[in-house]
Amino acid sequence: MNQQHPNLAIINRFFEAYGKFDLNAMREVVAENVKWTIPGHHPLSGTKVGIDEVLAFFTHLGKSNFKADPIVLGVNDQYVIDCHRGWSNREDGNNIDILWCLLWKIVDGKIVEVVNFAADQHEADRFFYKVYQLKPIQDRIV
């Protein structure tokens, strides 16, 4: 008999919610004080702290038409590691298709911390900078 580890069920629920862009379902499996680190040097990179910042990140990420298809998951009683294909299919031709690995920390049935690792950080930076172009410097200075 092949039983699914409860932490895998949490991650699968997250990916299902992400695939449907269901922020309420994401909120059900992510802790209020979550820390979510996005690598790189682009407008979406950095550590998001708290569920509201993380959901705001995913709202912005949705504008890029970014998709995630899990490939393999590993699990123990505190962590899940996933490797997935992160890709997009944008009409403007600015697309990405690389592997990502995420380390998910689970405590009391909730995702409390996630660290992303990109297979090609330079490609990720290029993609996100093109999608989320910064305003000209004179418009960013207050």
Residues of the chain with pLDDT under 70: 1-3, 140, 142
Asked whether residue 77 is domain-assigned, the answer is yes
* Residues in contact with 68: Cβ distance below 8 Å, sequence separation at least 6, in sequence order: 15, 18, 19, 84, 85, 86, 100
Residue 68 lies in domain:
6-132
Tally of structural domains, the chain: 1
Asked whether residue 138 is domain-assigned, the answer is no
The pTM (predicted TM-score) of the whole model is: 0.88
Asked whether residue 1 is domain-assigned, the answer is no
Q: What is the pLDDT of residue 139?
A: 75
Q: What is the pLDDT of residue 2?
A: 46
Q: What is the pLDDT of residue 1?
A: 33
Q: What is the CATH number of the domain that holds 60?
A: 3.10.450.50
Q: What is the pLDDT of residue 133?
A: 82
Q: What is the pLDDT of residue 49?
A: 98
